């Protein structure tokens, strides 16, 4: 919840769809794309865009972009315009690079030597400044401040091995991956295929789903003959709402071709020798929707494990466990289970307070958090409360909540945070306040309980967080090894904890 109030946000979400079988398709590709974006709305609310293609040679591209939420950006007439597509990609944006304007809205479409391409990406290039200079030295002008346009132009440039007749998109994508090691998951549409690409460190998520008839959605073993289409998404939470089954993740460094004929892995670009993957650990902590699956495990389950680990590391004498609605609820449930305490609700959230037309005056400002939350006093009066939150970023949100609970009858309020203190900025696609703004870097942090008015405050350790995340992956690998008859080595596991430790997966360029 503290993330929500502090301006910390995920950079964006990408989604793509290819209809299977004969074209023109009966599948409503534009509707699938729109519903996919709605399911990824938590990853960006600034703008949204869709580009569809008929997949012909040469293809006809149709695009629509708009500011605001998906529901605002795509009125019915816009979907009518997009309805003839056999494939398409789309994007919802929360800017970390580039200003908030329609011109920065993705996907970007550019002409290349071999025809148009459309590109959408999630992430932030760690060496964008140097790459912008390189592209401009080739005589290419950049019309926006977005990293995504930069990626599009890099793909449009001919790779070192000059092409004669046909474009070698694998070579071009590999060239891009050589130029910039992280952070990006991107979709590129060319003619009748979509290329799904994840950087070698796997910093941002990307997965593939199989569209099947509704009758086969909840039955095991839907075959290739049942496929109505293929989808690719930043998160698997988008699959249920469109009638798709989770198929698999795009691996770190992998280039996957998705066409009407199926899914084909074209190449895997390796990391430098010895480097581990660096999947963003805060996807698990906060950014992802709890029903999404990463690395074979559901986000909700990981958050529960974080809560259990927190109860082991930071126990306290209390009567009840609760949370600030609602992103930390799984962690609070895990804490309660491990501690053997009842989980109850102490706050009721007014979901519409942010949309009020009433202008704040002095009296309303003094009411502060009471405008947003109502205290469920019958549940906690005269009791000691453990309040679990996902993070304390600046400390200016949790303090009035503690005050509200104590004034409403809680005898003690103990804060337990289901992630370690954030101490460093992110340069890979997460919008985090400056180092100076973070409470963990201020003198007040030495007595943070006194500063925010709590009876005690304790955070989950970095080791505890990594353990909770990787426990499920190790368990899955163990099962795979028992089932598999091959001697194939287990997939290496690693997570980016740079915002917690200051140890970035690659050397940053300025």
Annotated binding site for [4Fe-4S] cluster: 280, 426, 496, 499
Active-site residue, from 12, 17, 90, 306: 12
Structure tokens at 374: 């109502």
Q: Largest alpha-carbon pair distance within the chain? A: 79
Could you confirm whether 12 is annotated as catalytic? Answer: yes
Q: What is the dihedral of CA 259, 264, 267, 268, to 10 degrees?
A: 110
The one-character DSSP state at 343 is B
Q: Which among 78, 91, 72 is positioned nearest to 31, based on CA atoms?
A: 78
Distance CA 314, CA 419 (A): 12
Whose tokens are 């346009």? That residue is 149
Q: Which among 156, 94, 92, 155 is positioned nearest to 124, based on CA atoms?
A: 94
Q: What is the dihedral of CA 210, 33, 109, 251, to 10 degrees?
A: -30
Q: Which among 46, 123, 119 is positioned nearest to 88, based on CA atoms?
A: 119
| Torsion sign across C-alpha atoms 426, 430, 434, 437 | negative
Distance CA 53, CA 232 (A): 16
Whose tokens are 């941002």? That residue is 204
Distance CA 318, CA 414 (A): 8
Whose tokens are 């089932």? That residue is 483
Please list the alpha-helical segments (H only) found in 230-381: 237-240, 282, 299-313, 329-339, 362-367
The binding site for Mg(2+) consists of: 327, 389-390
Distance CA 164, CA 51 (A): 28
Cis amide leading into 372 (omega within 30): no
Structure tokens at 375: 């205290």
Query: Of all helices (H) and strands (E), which one includes residue 208?
Result: strand 207-211
Helix, strand, coil share of the chain (percent; to 5):
35, 25, 40
Provide the annotated active-site residues: 12
């Amino acid at each position: 919840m503290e993330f929500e109030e502090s301006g910390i946000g995920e950079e964006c979400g990408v989604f793509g769809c290819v209809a299977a079988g004969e074209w023109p398709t009966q599948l409503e590709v534009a509707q699938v794309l729109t519903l996919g974006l709605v399911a990824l709305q938590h990853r960006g609310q600034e703008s949204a865009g869709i580009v569809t293609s008929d997949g012909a040679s040469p293809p006809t591209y149709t695009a629509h972009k708009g500011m605001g939420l998906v529901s605002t950006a795509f009125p019915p007439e816009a979907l009518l315009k997009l309805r003839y597509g056999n494939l398409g990609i789309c994007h919802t944006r929360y800017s970390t690079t580039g200003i908030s304007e329609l011109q920065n809205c993705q996907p970007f479409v550019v002409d290349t030597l071999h025809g148009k391409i459309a590109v959408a990406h999630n992430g932030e290039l760690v060496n964008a400044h140097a790459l912008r200079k390189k592209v401009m030295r080739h005589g290419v002008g950049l019309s926006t401040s977005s990293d995504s346009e930069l990626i599009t132009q890099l793909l449009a440039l001919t790779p070192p091995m000059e092409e004669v007749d046909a474009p070698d998109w694998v070579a071009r994508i590999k060239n891009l991956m050589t130029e910039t090691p992280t952070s990006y998951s991107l979709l590129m549409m060319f003619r009748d295929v979509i290329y799904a690409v994840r950087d070698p460190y796997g910093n941002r998520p990307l997965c593939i789903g199989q569209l099947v008839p509704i009758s086969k959605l909840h039955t095991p073993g839907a075959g290739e003959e049942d496929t109505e289409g293929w989808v690719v998404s930043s998160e698997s939470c988008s699959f249920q709402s469109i009638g798709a089954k989770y198929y698999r993740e795009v691996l770190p460094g992998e280039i996957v071709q998705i066409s009407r004929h199926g899914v084909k892995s074209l190449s895997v670009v390796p990391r430098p020798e010895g480097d581990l993957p660096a999947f963003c650990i805060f996807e698990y902590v906060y950014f992802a929707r709890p029903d999404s699956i990463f690395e074979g495990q559901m986000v909700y389950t990981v958050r529960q494990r974080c809560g259990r680990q927190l109860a082991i590391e930071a126990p306290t004498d209390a009567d009840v466990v609760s949370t600030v609605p609602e992103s930390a609820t799984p962690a609070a449930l895990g804490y309660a289970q491990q501690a053997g305490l009842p989980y109850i609700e102490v706050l009721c959230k007014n979901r519409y307070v942010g949309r009020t037309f009433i202008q704040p005056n002095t009296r309303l400002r003094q009411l502060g958090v009471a405008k947003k939350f109502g205290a469920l006093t019958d549940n906690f009066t005269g009791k000691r409360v453990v309040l679990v939150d996902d993070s304390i970023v600046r400390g200016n949100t949790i303090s009035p909540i503690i005050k509200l609970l104590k004034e409403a009858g809680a005898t003690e309020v103990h804060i337990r945070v289901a992630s370690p203190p954030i101490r460093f900025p992110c340069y890979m696609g997460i919008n985090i306040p400056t180092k100076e703004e973070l409470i963990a870097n201020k003198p007040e942090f030495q007595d943070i309980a006194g500063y925010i008015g709590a009876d005690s405050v304790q955070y989950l350790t970095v080791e505890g967080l990594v353990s909770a995340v990787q426990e499920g992956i190790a368990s899955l690998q163990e099962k795979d090894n028992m089932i598999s008859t091959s001697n194939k080595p287990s997939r290496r596991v690693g997570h980016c904890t740079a915002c917690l430790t200051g140890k970035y997966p690659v050397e940053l360029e300025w």
